[in-house]
Structures are given as structure tokens and as C-alpha cells.
């Protein structure tokens, strides 16, 4: 079913999204947009199937798909005329472009392959193909209330999985077993799947920021970093917690407290109107002043939604102005080779000077 539903409210939401894209088309002087990226066609139409092309003009909206999805598309994409193609897709698309008097067609240059672009350039009876840039992705950056509600549920599933896994972990279990239990529990809670390959990195392996689960067994004295998320109604959640199997040594406890301070201060400072790099700087300065600047090598955070990594970014190079409704992670970390690492991550919604922290799992140092 459509993630928002087929009520009048759902139609209003998709109508607003189409209006937003049409405004961007006017800015680009484009007659129409060809949308082929799955997350983008889902966002604009509500269609959740694995194959569709959208053609959107100022006055019309078409969803082109094959026999497998015609019924589903008609049920989900209420604001679109559904067209089934039976021969070559490019022929059906071209016929539509001609019928709609499209001369300038915008396309997703970061997604459409060169082979497809070359074929369409040769086949389409349009005067010009122009890049859309990140027109749809810019619309997707700011979440509406329906999207935020779905994100809350996706986060809640992951939070529940963290509570569950704390009672499951014990010495002798492999990282793969822990990751499998997290993902199994999330599915039992209603998740469609994991947002990404679950990270469970223990002992010295925790110094690898993206140390996906391995056959290493958890041992007494290990630090254990777990980074995971749930997909719910197409939307992703993302959280990280670091726990300890037995009391940590002095340096690891010190590192944990530094990361926690950096994370809490960044949450407090994630305000509307700041640039992404200014929020990143809050955490980076705390970690650098503590002597671990070289051990924090990734960005502070990234946008989350229909994709696990999307705009905006909290990074040293980001000039993106942060707006209300943006869903972003806050995840500082310190990683020391041969010792271990700590990362703490929440998902937040920008809300003036009072960001809404969706992730509810505890962050005080946990000893199992």
C-alpha cells in the first residue's frame, strides 16, 4: 500500500510535491521532467513498485510502467495517469512527449546512465535534454508531518531493538550473531528490512567506523559499537550506540565521555539558519580540543529519509543552510587503531532552536 495512503490528505501531499517540482521546472525553463530514480518517483507519486518512469509537465502527470505494476500504480498514484507500455519503453515515452508538446525535457543526470541518455537523446523528439540537478532531492530534504511520523516509527523500531539486544549480548557470541538478532527483532517489530548492512564492531575492530559484523566473538573487556536502522514504509532510521562488555579502561572511558559531550553539544546547537559546516564544527572543536581531532575522520551527520544517506550534510565543507523539517543524524566518533572506537548517533528533526531528537535510547555509559 501507499506509505501515506490514498485519502484526500494523501492526494494533497502529493499535489504539493508536484507543485514544488513544477516550480523548479519553471526556474529551469523546462517543459517537463523525466523521473526514473526509484526514491524520487515514490516521493512524487506514492508508487512503491520497483519500476516506473514519470513524465511531469505543468498540467499533467503520467506514470509509465509495465504489466506487472499497472494495478498497483492505479491504486497508489492517484494523481497520475497510468500508462502501460508493451513495446519499447523509449517509444512510449516519446509518444507522450510529442502529445504534450515537450521541447525541453529535464532528466536526472546523476541517475540516468550514459547508455540510456544516449538512447533517449537519439530517440526523443525534443529540442533539448537538460539536467534537473537535484531538483527532487531538494524537495525531499524538508520532511512534511506525514514523513516525520513515519520516521518516528522507524526510529522507535530501532530503539526497541537496542533495548532487546542489551539483554542478548554475552561473551562468545559473534558480531554476525548479534547483527542477525538485531535485524530479526526489527523485522518482528514491523520493519521492511534493515536500512543498511548492520555494523557490529567489537574490541579493536571498533576503531573501524564502518566495521560491518564479522565472525569475531565478543570477549570480556570489549567495547562494542552497533550502528543500525530500520526501514518502515520506505523510510530509514539510523542510530549508533557504543557499549562495554565489562568496565572500560581509563582511555576508552575518557574517549566515550568526549564523544558524548560532542554529541550532546551538537544536538543543542543544531539550529535552523546555520550552515551544515557550522554544526559540524561544534563537535569537531570539542574532539580536537581534547586531542583527538585526527581520530574523527568523517562528517558529523547526514540527511535520512527514503535513502539512508541524502542531503543535507553536517560536514566541514557543507554550505547548505539548515531548515526546519530536515531529518539529520548527529554522530560524532573517535577511533584509535589498536585500541577501539566510540560513536554515538541520534536522528533529529530541525525545529528552530530546539531540534527534535527522535532517538530515545540511553546514552550514558553502559556496562554489560
Mean pLDDT of 103-119: 96
Task: Measure the CA–CA gap between 291 and 303, rounded to whole angstroms.
Answer: 28
Residues 6 or more apart from 16 whose CB is under 8 A from it? 144
Domains of the chain in start order, with CATH, are: 8-140 (3.40.350.10), 142-357 (3.90.230.10)
Reported in sequence order, the residue ranges of the chain that DSSP labels E, i.e. its strands, are: 32-35, 53-57, 61-65, 81-84, 104-107, 128-131, 193-194, 199-202, 223-228, 230-232, 235-236, 239-244, 301-303, 310-314, 327-330, 333-336, 340-343, 346-349, 356-357
What does the pLDDT read at residue 8? 56
For 276-327, write each residue's pLDDT tens digit. 999 999 999 999 999 999 999 999 999 999 999 999 999 999 999 999 999 9
What does the pLDDT read at residue 339? 96
Confirm if 90 and 120 have CB atoms less than 8 A apart. yes
Place of cell 520516521: 151
With cut-offs at 50, 70 and 90, classify the pLDDT of residue 9.
low
With cut-offs at 50, 70 and 90, classify the pLDDT of residue 1.
very low
Mean pLDDT of 1-28: 79
Task: Compute the mean pLDDT over every residue in the chain, rounded to the nearest whole number.
Answer: 96
Task: Measure the CA–CA gap between 316 and 300, rounded to whole angstroms.
Answer: 9
- Asked if the model's pLDDT at residue 7 lies above 70, the reply is no
Mean pLDDT of 110-123: 94
- Asked if the model's pLDDT at residue 2 lies above 60, the reply is no
Residues 6 or more apart from 320 whose CB is under 8 A from it? 275, 276, 311, 312, 313
For 77-101, write each residue's pLDDT tens digit. 999 999 999 999 999 999 999 999 9
For 45-70, write each residue's pLDDT tens digit. 999 999 999 999 999 999 999 999 99
Residues in the chain: 368
Helices 145-166 and 175-188: crossing angle in degrees, nearest 10, is: 130
For 141-158, write each residue's pLDDT tens digit. 999 999 999 999 999 999
For 161-187, write each residue's pLDDT tens digit. 999 999 999 999 999 999 999 999 999
Mean pLDDT of 41-48: 98
With cut-offs at 50, 70 and 90, classify the pLDDT of residue 11.
confident
Q: Dihedral sign, CA of 230, 234, 235, 238? A: positive
Q: Dihedral sign, CA of 17, 19, 22, 24? A: negative
Place of cell 544516449: 118
What does the pLDDT read at residue 3? 47
Amino acid at each position: 500500500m501507499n506509505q501515506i495512503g490514498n485519502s484526500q490528505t494523501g492526494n494533497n501531499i502529493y499535489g504539493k510535491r508536484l507543485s514544488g517540482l513544477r516550480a523548479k521546472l519553471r526556474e529551469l525553463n523546462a517543459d517537463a521532467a523525466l523521473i526514473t530514480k526509484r526514491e524520487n518517483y515514490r516521493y512524487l507519486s506514492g508508487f512503491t513498485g520497483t519500476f516506473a518512469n514519470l513524465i511531469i509537465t505543468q498540467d499533467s502527470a503520467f506514470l509509465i510502467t509495465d504489466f506487472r505494476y499497472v494495478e498497483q500504480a492505479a491504486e497508489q498514484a492517484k494523481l497520475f495517469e497510468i500508462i502501460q507500455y508493451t513495446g519499447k519503453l523509449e517509444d512510449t515515452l516519446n509518444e507522450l512527449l510529442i502529445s504534450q508538446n515537450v521541447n525541453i525535457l529535464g532528466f536526472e543526470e546523476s541517475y540516468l546512465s550514459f547508455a540510456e541518455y544516449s538512447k533517449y537523446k537519439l530517440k526523443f523528439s525534443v529540442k533539448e535534454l537538460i539536467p534537473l540537478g537535484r531538483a527532487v532531492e531538494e524537495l525531499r530534504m524538508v520532511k512534511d508531518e506525514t514523513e516525520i511520523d513515519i520516521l518516528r516509527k522507524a526510529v522507535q523500531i530501532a530503539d526497541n531493538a537496542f533495548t532487546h539486544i542489551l539483554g542478548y549480548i554475552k561473551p562468545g557470541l559473534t558480531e554476525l550473531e548479534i547483527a542477525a538478532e538485531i535485524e530479526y527483532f526489527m523485522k518482528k517489530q514491523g520493519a521492511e528490512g534493515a536500512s543498511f548492512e548492520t555494523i557490529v564492531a567489537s574490541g579493536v575492530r571498533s576503531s573501524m567506523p564502518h566495521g560491518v559484523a564479522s565472525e569475531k566473538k565478543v570477549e570480556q573487556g570489549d567495547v562494542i559499537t552497533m550502528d543500525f536502522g530500520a526501514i518502515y514504509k520506505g523510510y530509514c532510521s539510523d542510530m549508533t550506540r557504543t557499549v562495554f562488555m565489562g568496565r572500560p579502561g581509563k582511555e576508552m572511558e575518557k574517549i566515550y565521555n568526549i564523544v558524548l559531550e560532542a554529541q550532546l553539544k551538537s544536538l543543542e546547537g543544531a539550529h535552523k539558519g546555520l550552515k551544515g559546516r557550522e554544526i559540524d564544527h561544534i563537535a569537531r572543536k570539542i574532539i580536537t580540543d581534547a586531542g583527538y581531532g585526527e581520530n574523527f575522520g568523517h562528517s558529523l551527520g547526514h540527511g535520512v529519509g527514503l535513502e539512508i544517506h541524502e542531503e543535507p550534510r553536517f560536514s566541514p565543507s557543507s554550505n547548505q543552510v539548515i531548515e526546519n523539517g530536515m531529518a539529520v543524524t548527529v554522530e560524532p566518533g573517535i577511533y584509535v587503531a589498536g585500541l577501539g572506537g566510540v560513536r554515538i548517533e541520534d536522528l533529529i528533526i530541525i525545529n528552530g532552536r530546539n531540534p527534535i531528537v527522535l532517538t530515545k535510547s540511553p546514552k550514558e555509559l553502559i556496562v554489560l
